[in-house]
Copies of this chain bind each other. A is one copy, B any other.
């Protein structure tokens, strides 16, 4: 199904309108050939109005929307086309227009589809936008690793150096592995697509589920760590952790709903500031260390709580591995780069991994040299900054930059989560509404779908970073593993230039990722990883169910050649001559609304039946008298409903009619009084609403609402 999505794998608004397959076009032709008979009525008869709105004189008569200043809602495009202007998007109601204006003020004016190309990112903008997640991870990754090691006492901290070396190896391996993936999948090398393409749909869905959980947690963890950095600097705010975090998530949502480019600009400065600040800390720290001949200061003497076993080391390792979360951001976002997309993306990824390795290794080594250890009151990075800059404003600057980048790291997820949903929706694994680009060419639905669970997780965990970290690694490394395993299969199939070497690189990446995945899932199972272990299969199940529904829908709606005989299955009529109409008008009482409905029904020139539901015999007799007074122009059927229900008996009557002639299309014409003010609605019985609900389930019943507007 994904193949029909227009032009390959790029992101376009036209994905909501997939083109028909050649088979379908042939079926369309066959159906059309048999329309002949009805053509006269529809095509040949002149329309009573000019559908082009006068085409070159495009000032529609004054309307609700501007009685005094006629606004040009449409302009002429190509000779045969009308083009809606921005104004034509405004809703009709006053409340709706007010909301639309408010939204425009917050999110900016709408962008046309033609602007989609210009919303690409330069490398220097893409780097901060996509790397904030990855680089900010060093603000909590090393600390998470050391916190686990410290459980085995201060002496165990020395293990951080070999563990860090292993993690650097892992980073390089995964980074190189992803660098190979980008040119192979230039339209977006997300784990979902790579794994799905090469390992089958199930693997792709598992990768997608892992990534989705990862993105939600990225937002929650980054925001909680960022808020914590702020509250540790300003302890007075500590009581407001939860509302502060929710506010930050809302602000991020608003920023991203404005669109990609604007969001990028917002995030350039803090990321670069963080990198510069951290490099300064490292420089000053190593300068001091050089002053004492790189002699390591002794770590604090903390007593051991647990023995130094293999499980503890593995837990420390997988905790440290959260420093790598976000490395996949670039490969998902390839189409957001300026052309040549894949080359720019690959270069950006290279820079990012290099910077990550530099910062991560630098921090771990310097912590070791300075003899620091995690403390409850203060983050490790803050201790490091204090040690390097004991005086002056520099400490405050480092903390501010850290807080900012942590808050903004969440933004990576805002880029990738909706894009992932877009690809999934195009393949039918996610609701189609995630294909829709909002006013500002952002995937508004996907952004909202990210923020709601992220805010929920944040509130449930009361913003505690340490409680969220154990959930974190499993989803990411599941996606890493599947993606790289997929690339192994890819190289084996393609067998292009140097495929053996490439295969080996990806196989190595897949193996080490898989080891980290297994480590994280087992070692942290009871600490929270079980949530993810349970959630991934559940999500996969939902994705499959969604796809099954869309497949059914697609099969039901796909065009196929018409059957040779004239009769059609119920609801299968595709030719006007197959449609046998019976118009049914439920009439509660005779007033102008129902007379108008009757007149409308008769104007269609089809066989027409009026139905009256009476609560009592006497009322039925009275109604028939009125009907006679009116002239008995249409056939009337009275149904006495002694239990005073209206909707139920009417629905059952229509069903019985349909049962007696299954080929009939019953058109039920319901007069509907539309009050002008919203608060007037409860004053009406809204029986037509309930009737529509009841009739919706009936096959072969068409419901027509004839509105009467109150001009009050």
**Which of A75-83, A206-214, A472-480 lies at the interface?**
A75-83
**Is A498 interfacial (CB 8 A cutoff)?**
no
Cβ-based interface call for A549 (8 A): yes
* A64 and B619 contacting across the interface, CB-CB below 8 Å: no
Closest B residue to A608 using CB positions: B42
Interface-central residue, A33, A603, A615, by most chain B CB under 10 Å: A603
Main SS of the interface on chain A? mixed
Given the interface contacts A17-B589, A632-B43, does A86 sit within 8 Å of B643 by beta carbon? yes
Q: Type the 1/0 row for A611-641, where 1 means its CB is closer than 8 Å to any CB of B.
A: 1011111111011101001111111011111
The A651-675 residues at the B interface (CB cut-off 8 A) are: 651-653, 655-657, 659-661, 664-665, 667, 672-675
Q: Kindly state the separation between the CA atoms of A641 and B696 in the bound complex, as whole angstroms.
A: 30
- In the assembled complex, A69 has its CB within 8 A of some CB on chain B: no
A46 to B607, CA, bound (A): 7
A567 within 8 A of B: no
Interface membership of A60, Cβ < 8 A? yes
Q: How far is the CB of A549 from chain B (nearest CB, A)?
A: 5
Q: In the complex, what's the smallest C-beta–C-beta distance from A186 to chain B, in angstroms? A: 22
Q: 1/0 per residue A38-56: CB within 8 Å of B? A: 1101110111111111100
Q: Which residues of chain B come closer than 8 Å to A573, judged between CB atoms?
A: 596, 599-600
Partner of A685, one of B432, B632, B701, B711: B432
The interface residues of chain B lying within 8 Å CB-to-CB of A572 are 592, 596
Residue from the list B32, B560, B694 in contact with A630, Cβ < 8 A: B32
Q: A652 with B620: in contact, given A17-B614, A18-B589, A35-B631 (CB under 8 Å)? A: no
With A and B bound together, what is the CA distance between A696 and B692 in angstroms?
Answer: 15
CB-contacts of A5-53 with B (<8 A): 12-14, 16-20, 25, 28-29, 31-33, 35, 38-39, 41-43, 45-53
Inter-subunit contact B660/A600 (CB<8 Å) = no
A642 touching B589, Cβ below 8 Å:
no
Known: A84-B642, A644-B13. A633 touches B601 (CB 8 A): no
Number of copies: 2
Question: Is A657 within 8 A of B92, CB to CB?
Answer: no
What's the least CB distance linking A276 to chain B, in Å?
40
The residue of chain B having its C-beta at the shortest distance from the C-beta of A35 within the complex is B633
A565 touches B (CB below 8 Å): no
Determine whether A89 belongs to the interface, using a CB cutoff of 8 Å to chain B: yes
| Docked pose: A623 CA to B81 CA in angstroms | 12
Residues of B within 8 A of A25 (CB): 626, 629
Within the assembled complex, what's the spacing in Å between the Cα atoms of A617 and B447? 27
Kindly specify which of A293-301, A307-315, A522-530, A702-710 makes contact with the partner chain: A702-710
Task: Assess the B633–A557 pair: CB atoms within 8 A.
Answer: no
- Answer yes or no: A588 CB below 8 A from chain B CBs: yes
Chain A residues numbered 565-621 whose CB sits less than 8 Å from any CB in chain B: 571-582, 588-593, 595-596, 599-609, 611, 613-620
Which of B16, B588, B656 contacts A63 (CB under 8 A)? Answer: B656
What separation, in Å, do the CA atoms of A242 and B623 have in the docked complex? 50
User: Can you list the 3 inter-chain pairs with the closest CB atoms, starting with the nearest?
Assistant: A32-B631, A579-B603, A112-B642
Question: Knowing that A35-B602, A62-B659, A65-B652 are A-B contacts, what are 6 other residue pairs whose CB atoms are under 8 Å apart, sorted by A's residue number?
Answer: A13-B616, A83-B640, A84-B613, A86-B643, A436-B644, A579-B600
